[in-house]
């Protein structure tokens, strides 16, 4: 019995050393994870479920996605809460680079916004002119659901209202939900409302009720997405290696092909346009 005890004591340092190695390896794997802030549209469209496994297979890097409005995502990048941004408000993205909080902004892909609403179209907005449609919505007091969350979609909506002569919509049936694209679509579907959405989320949205696309094809509805690594000069703790791998891969021919391959019912949700 004493001999067995001695043998255990002799083996213990080896066991502890092995345990330490396992812990160090686990820590290294955890440290390798990339934290990305992105929009609810990229998440709720299903793109990341298609894209990120391919990135992991190519690089071995895990990605943790924080899906919020673009404005919130950019704030997270400015604070150094994430390593990389994948968003769609070009003016705000370029400002972040100018301020030094991101090292660069690269185009990745695009799709477009569409205005959806009840098939009966009580505000008579159907057509290809988004500004004319917004003017009709305001004049008719149409039931409009705004995301109201500083997202890229919300920023685009406000641009269209401004172009229509309304700096801030005031009609009684204009409502801000302060929510993501999916919940905004659900509210519109349940109330017979109009809502501006990115096409990707719309194609992946199942609870449409009688909502249909009413306005599309206007060049003003173009929706560009960009990728931005957070600047380590501002936030030394960020995972620059992981961010560089993601930026390099998603803008490469391989990453662009994966984006192009994401379709629903044979229809692509995003169109790659990185300058590689």
Region 129-157 average pLDDT: 95
- Return the domain boundaries, the chain: 29-110+224-272, 112-221
Residues ≥6 apart with Cβ < 8 Å to 139:
none
Task: Give the contacts of 136 (CB within 8 A, at least 6 positions apart).
Answer: 123, 124, 125, 142
Q: What is the pLDDT of residues 63-82, one digit of tens each?
A: 999 999 999 999 999 999 99
Q: Which fold has domain 29-110+224-272?
A: D-Maltodextrin-Binding Protein; domain 2 (3.40.190)
Cβ-based neighbours of 40, under 8 Å, separated by 6 or more = 67, 68, 69, 151, 180, 181, 182, 201
CA distances (Å), origin 73, targets 39, 76, 93, 104: 7, 5, 10, 16
CA angle 159, 162, 166 (to 5 degrees): 140
- The reported pLDDT for the residue numbered 16 is 39
CATH of domain 112-221: 3.40.190.10
Measured CA to CA in angstroms, residue 16 lies from 28, 34, 43, 261 at distances of: 18, 30, 42, 48
Closest CA to 187 of 197, 177, 198: 177
Quick one: pLDDT at residue 276? 64
Question: 89-106: string of b/e by CB count within 10 Å (b at 16+)?
Answer: bbebbeebeeeebbbebb
The per-residue pLDDT for range 102-124, each reduced to its tens digit, is: 999 999 999 999 999 999 999 99
Burial class (CB within 10 angstroms; exposed 0-12, middle 13-18, buried 19+) of 12:
exposed
d(CA 4, CA 172): 83
Please, what is the angle between helix 130-140 and helix 152-163, to 10°?
Answer: 80
What share of the chain in percent tops pLDDT 70? 88
Instruction: Name the token pair of 28.
Output: 């290294």
Statement: residue 13 has pLDDT above 50: no
Q: Which residue has the higher pLDDT, 194 or 5?
A: 194
pTM for this one?
0.84
Report pLDDT digits (tens) over 235-250. 999 999 999 999 999 9
Question: Distances from the Cα of 159 to the Cαs of 116, 131, 203, 255, in angstroms?
Answer: 17, 9, 24, 31
Of 46, 39, 94, nearest to 69 by C-alpha is 39
Q: What is residue 67's three-state secondary structure?
A: strand
Least confident residue range of 19-28, 189-198, 258-267:
19-28
- Both tokens of residue 76? 């997270």
Q: How confident is the model over 78-102, as pLDDT tens digits?
A: 999 999 999 999 999 999 999 999 9
């Amino acid at each position: 019995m004493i001999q067995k005890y001695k043998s255990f004591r002799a083996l213990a340092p080896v066991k502890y050393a092995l345990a330490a190695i396992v812990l160090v390896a686990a820590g290294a794997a955890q440290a390798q994870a990339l934290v990305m802030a992105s929009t609810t549209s990229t998440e709720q469209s299903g793109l990341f479920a298609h894209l990120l496994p391919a990135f992991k297979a190519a690089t071995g890097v895990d990605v943790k996605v924080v899906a919020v409005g673009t404005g919130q995502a950019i704030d997270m990048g400015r604070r150094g809460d994430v390593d990389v941004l994948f968003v769609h408000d070009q003016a705000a993205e370029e400002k972040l680079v100018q301020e030094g909080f991101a090292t660069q902004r690269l185009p990745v892909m695009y799709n477009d916004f569409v205005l959806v609403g009840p098939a009966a179209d009580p505000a008579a907005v159907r057509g290809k002119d988004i500004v004319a449609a917004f003017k009709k919505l305001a004049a008719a007091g149409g039931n409009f659901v705004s995301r109201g969350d500083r997202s890229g979609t919300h920023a685009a909506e406000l641009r269209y209202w401004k172009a229509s002569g309304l700096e801030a919509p005031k009609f009684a049936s204009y409502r801000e939900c302060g929510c993501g694209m999916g919940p905004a679509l659900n509210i519109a579907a349940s109330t017979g409302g109009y809502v501006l959405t990115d096409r990707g989320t719309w194609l992946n949205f199942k609870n449409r009720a009688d909502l249909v696309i009413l306005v599309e094809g206007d060049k003003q509805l173009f929706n560009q997405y960009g990728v931005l690594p957070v600047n380590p000069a501002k936030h030394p703790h960020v995972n620059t290696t992981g961010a560089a791998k993601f930026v390099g891969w998603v803008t490469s021919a391989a990453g662009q092909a994966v984006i192009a391959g994401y379709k629903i019912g044979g229809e692509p949700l995003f169109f790659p346009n990185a300058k590689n």
